[in-house]
Amino acid sequence: MTTPRVTISIPSYNYGRFIGRTIESVLAQDYSDYEVLVIDDASKDNSAEVVGRYRDPRIQYIQNPINIGQFATINKALYLGRGEYFINLASDDVWYPGLLRRAMDLLEAYPKLAAVHTAEYCIDSDDQKLTINTAAYPAYAEGAQAFRAFFCGGWHFSFSSCVMRRSIALRQGGFDRAFGEFADSAMFVRLCGSGDIAFQHDCLVGYRLHGTSVSDNMFVRADDWFRQQRQFIDRVFSWDELARPSFAALKEEAVEELAKLMVRRAHLVRLAAGRRQVWQIVRHAWSMSPRAVVAPHLWSRALLSWLLPEHILRDLQRRKRNRILAMANG
């Protein structure tokens, strides 16, 4: 049996309603040298039936006897995989044409690359594009540049688009479950410390937002979410390779940028969780970096998020999304 170049991990838990579209988006790629490990984390829905419809020999369906959690399941795929490269695709996300081919062209051409990732569309349950997520990453960056862009550019990292060298992920011991929901971000930071990073500004993945997705829930419990991000910064900068004076200024900058991000997202917190939660995150941001909160364009944004009626905030958000999509689509 030939060894595939790429191992594609699709961990799934009760996403039978989406996983068919996910698998079809993989099969539609113009790069075919891969294996697909669909690992079902003890789902109770029709996931097995949906996956069973696909007879492609590259697809393996593995069922966990008990639920072990997202990142334990991803690690299982990482260790079972045979490919030189590894990518994890969430079972409710989709790829757009060219993602694998373009990533592989870069990884094969530039041996110093540890990973390639892309911008992404946010999509709804019907695959309609809502907005885009992107960041100011250089197209090709040394690891230290990508590291800084992550912490100081809005924490954008599209996990479902990130093709990495599997040997690096294995060398790091897989995805560190101690980081909880941020285990993917911890791996990305490790990749930045292991080589160069390429970023494609085209949106080549659809990142699904729906009532049960992590991203939808994060604004409902925003204060806790941002507190975890603050703890993430402390933990990462305590790593031996980063616990040096030269990184102290970058840590301070990362904390200040996180505080700004909290205030910039106040309107999303208001829409998801109400006025009270807005002031909780503003107080939390103030405790992290007063300078970030007193910037006029930021405190006025928080104030408007508190004062404006909800229907006006939703209308402003809709218009912003439409502008972004119009720009992205030329």
User: Quick one: pLDDT band at residue 244, thresholds 50, 70, 90?
Assistant: low
DSSP state letters, 144-175 = HHHHHHHHHTTS---GGG-EEEHHHHHHTTSS
pLDDT at residue 1, rounded to an integer: 65
pLDDT at residue 68, rounded to an integer: 97
pLDDT at residue 277, rounded to an integer: 79
pLDDT at residue 218, rounded to an integer: 58
User: Quick one: pLDDT band at residue 305, thresholds 50, 70, 90?
Assistant: confident
pLDDT at residue 320, rounded to an integer: 73
Q: Is the pLDDT of residue 271 over 60?
A: yes
Dihedral through CA 95, CA 101, CA 106, CA 108, nearest 10?
Answer: 130
pLDDT at residue 262, rounded to an integer: 83
Structure tokens at 82: 């045979």
Domains and CATH numbers, the chain: 6-208 (3.90.550.10), 219-328 (no CATH)
276 vs 220, residue with greater confidence: 276
42-83 per-position pLDDT tens digit: 999 999 999 999 999 999 999 999 999 999 999 999 999 999
Q: What percent of the chain has pLDDT over 90?
A: 58
Whether the pTM exceeds 0.75: the reply is yes
Structure tokens at 45: 């829905």
Q: Is the pLDDT of residue 284 over 60?
A: yes
Of the candidates 296, 303, 297, 268, the residue with the CA atom closest to the CA atom of residue 282: 303
212-239 per-position pLDDT tens digit: 444 445 555 666 778 888 999 999 988 8
The answer to which of 115-119, 152-156, 321-325 has the lowest mean pLDDT is 321-325
247, 289 contact by CB (below 8 A):
no
Rounded to an integer, what distance in angstroms lies between the CA atom of residue 204 and that of residue 124?
A: 16
pLDDT at residue 231, rounded to an integer: 92
Rounded to an integer, what distance in angstroms lies between the CA atom of residue 75 and that of residue 280?
A: 35
Of the candidates 84, 118, 113, 107, the residue with the CA atom closest to the CA atom of residue 197: 113
Of the candidates 287, 288, 263, the residue with the CA atom closest to the CA atom of residue 277: 263
For the chain, give the mean pLDDT: 88
